[in-house]
Structure 1
Amino acid sequence: MSGDMLDQKARAATWFRELRDQIVAAFEGLEDSHTTGPLNEAAAGRFEVTETTRASDDGSDAGGGLMSVMRGGRVFEKVGVNVSEVYGTLGEAAQKAMAARGVPGIADNPRFWASGISLVAHMQNPHVPAVHMNTRMFWTPGAWWFGGGSDLNPCIEYDADTAHFHATQKAHLDPHGTDIYPRLKAWADEYFYIPHRHRARGVGGIFMDDQNSGDWETDFALTQDIGRAFLPAFVPLVEQRRVQPWDDADKDAQLVHRGLYAEYNLVYDRGTKFGLATGHDANAVLMSLPPLAKWV
């Protein structure tokens, strides 16, 4: 492995950790600033941080990360912000999946390295949308690529919220080329779709995978701006909606919508499948699941 790639891996892993720190601080700030509206007298939520490890077949070091989860706050019912840096040898099933995606040389040399950040927030107030965001870098001896994105998952939809979320993402991506946002938006619409329900799981966002233009710096810069777009796209929606009153019907709608989210993550989500297949901490992989959900 070249010295340049070692440096690039370190830079990517450091960036994901820095983004994690920014988001954790912003979310705890939202808890502190929620002084009017529903649940304002509850204790402000704080993240519990746990180190995670990846299990390897031979017991050797295979990396790990940090799982940060807040439960039962004023604003967030459950939110997880995880970062990881894992490495080792891909199992047979993962090798086949990578080969099917066109990763060169994976059958001959199945070593890998991956780092990223993954976030899912489930909110107390049904008027505040749930949200997902992740970005990652993946390396094998034959290739490297970036992936990730973010999407909004409201149970009660507001056109203004959807417009703000998408406009903020577009503003962050347009400097990389005005064709980027429409392409990643269309990809998100396709990816975050629940075939057995014949519907999207939310109101969309942006998504990419296997991003390798041949220029690592260009692709890393794009990945960083996907991450930078998240807080300004989401936080204003929380600040506006968290003070709205809700009733039992609103909460019921939220729980039913969470059922859709759980179905998607367990059946279709590529990151969930990869994390479980490669031996990462199951609690960290499944932290995206809502605390409560309902099926009708």
Structure 2
Amino acid sequence: MSMSPSPSLSLDDKKKRAEDWFRTLRDDICTAFEAIEDDCSGPLSDRTPGRFSRKNWNRTNQADNAPGGGGTMSIMTGGRAFEKVGVNISTVFGTFSEDFAANIPGAAEDPRFFATGISLVAHMNSPHVPAVHMNTRFIVTTKSWFGGGADLNAPIPDEEETARFHAAFKSCCDRHGDEYYDKYKKWCDEYFYIKHRNRARGEGGIFYDYLDSGDWQADFAFTRDVGSTFHNIYPTLVRDKMNQDWTAEERERQLRYRGHYAEFNLVYDRGTLFGLKTGGNIEAILMSLPPEAKWP
């Protein structure tokens, strides 16, 4: 007996499915991070375990002051393991400015846009536990695509730790495309490079953008797998070292590394530029900055 093909999804269905997934991933990650706080027995275990606080924000379109979506910030500060972590979701829509539209695929023909995604940055108390960045997103103009990735940012790099992080994302990529890992690892290395310091921001990971293979379901499956892979590997790395002691010298090294991290985000990061150019919530956009940093 032949089976009829499944009906294709409308664009509205695609938008909703992506938005719902990012919200679910946010909830799962926040639960995992709060469990880490409960279990942390390291140098700051006398603190009350950290908990996320949520803050909704709304956006208005700059051109006509019409509603333009919004998002929810989930922020935890001053925890046992997490010094500052944000897990933000947003869904925004509106019209790009003429100068910005020229740089976005499909926007020169029609400047209207839709974007939904999740953005996460974690800065840790322990210099031995790597900071991390992860985001995934779905963007629609006259074209549509997925983008995102995850990268490890260790003040004190550990080869075995870095290898485990990369192995997890290689397995993720290999489940979806033979060429994905090499392509997206290289893209990450090139993107997260601090040109004025002639150094990488961290230990890398994967970065992808403009993913539109022609099979939306496959591209969405890969994007979900990126989020799930992060959810599986990063809490494991945190738990491995969160209870270790650290020295004043190691803390100083961490703070100076954070200065480089902040420089990249303010000078080069496209996500920061996108948020500022589209009237996003400034507090959410700058969530990625560390709570404390130093420069020589």
Which residue pairs with 2:42 in the alignment?
Answer: 37
Deviation (angstroms), 1:3: 6.5
Q: For the residues of structure 1 that align with 2:99 and 2:39, how far apart are their CA atoms?
A: 47
After superposing on structure 2, the runs of 4+ consecutive aligned residues of structure 1 that deviate more than 4 Å are none
Deviation (angstroms), 1:228: 0.8
Which residue pairs with 2:97 in the alignment?
Answer: 91
**Map 1:201-220 → 2, pairs under 5 A:** 201-220=201-220
Deviation (angstroms), 1:108: 3.3
Q: Does 1:143 align with 2:143?
A: yes
Which residue pairs with 1:9 in the alignment?
Answer: 15
Q: Which amino acid aligns with 1:215?
A: D
Deviation (angstroms), 1:135: 0.1
Deviation (angstroms), 1:20: 0.4
**Map 1:204-243 → 2, pairs under 5 A:** 204-243=204-243
Q: For the residues of structure 2 that align with 1:43 and 1:185, how far apart are their CA atoms?
A: 38
Which residue pairs with 2:130 in the alignment?
Answer: 129
Deviation (angstroms), 1:177: 2.1
Q: Which amino acid aligns with 1:50?
A: K
Return 5+ residue gaps in structure 1 as ranges.
none
Q: For the residues of structure 2 that align with 1:135 and 1:3, how far apart are their CA atoms?
A: 20
Return 5+ residue gaps in structure 2 as ranges.
1-7
Q: For the residues of structure 1 that align with 2:183 and 2:110, how far apart are their CA atoms?
A: 32
**Cα deviation 1:245-266 (Å, max 9, x = unaligned):** 1011000000000001100000
**Cα deviation 1:273-293 (Å, max 9, x = unaligned):** 000110011000000000000
**Cα deviation 1:106-134 (Å, max 9, x = unaligned):** 22311000000000000000000000000
Equivalent position to 1:21, from 27, 34, 40: 27
Q: Does 1:50 align with 2:51?
A: no
Q: Which amino acid aligns with 1:134?
A: N
Query: Which has the higher mean CA deviation after the structures are superposed, 226-235 or 188-197?
Result: 226-235
Q: For the residues of structure 1 that align with 2:271 and 2:145, how far apart are their CA atoms?
A: 14
Which residue pairs with 1:192 in the alignment?
Answer: 192
Which residue pairs with 1:180 in the alignment?
Answer: 180
**Cα deviation 1:134-183 (Å, max 9, x = unaligned):** 0000001x200000000000000111100110011111221112221111
Query: What is the aligned-residue identity percentage?
Result: 53
C-alpha RMSD of matched pairs (Å)? 1.1
Q: For the residues of structure 1 that align with 2:166 and 2:190, how far apart are their CA atoms?
A: 16
**Cα deviation 1:53-94 (Å, max 9, x = unaligned):** 223122211000100110000000000000000001111232
User: SS where residue 80 of structure 1 aligns?
Assistant: strand
Deviation (angstroms), 1:235: 1.0
Which residue pairs with 1:256 in the alignment?
Answer: 256
Q: For the residues of structure 1 that align with 2:149 and 2:222, how far apart are their CA atoms?
A: 11
Q: Which amino acid aligns with 2:50?
A: G
TM-score with structure 2 setting the length: 0.95
User: SS where residue 103 of structure 2 aligns?
Assistant: helix
Which residue pairs with 1:68 in the alignment?
Answer: 74
User: SS where residue 236 of structure 1 aligns?
Assistant: helix
Q: Which amino acid aligns with 1:200?
A: A
Q: For the residues of structure 2 that align with 1:181 and 1:3, how far apart are their CA atoms?
A: 28
Deviation (angstroms), 1:96: 2.1
Q: For the residues of structure 1 that align with 2:249 and 2:103, how far apart are their CA atoms?
A: 42
Q: For the residues of structure 1 that align with 2:286 and 2:117, how far apart are their CA atoms?
A: 15
Deviation (angstroms), 1:210: 0.8
**Count of matched residue positions in the alignment of Structure 1 and Structure 2:** 288
Q: For the residues of structure 1 that align with 2:171 and 2:34, how far apart are their CA atoms?
A: 26
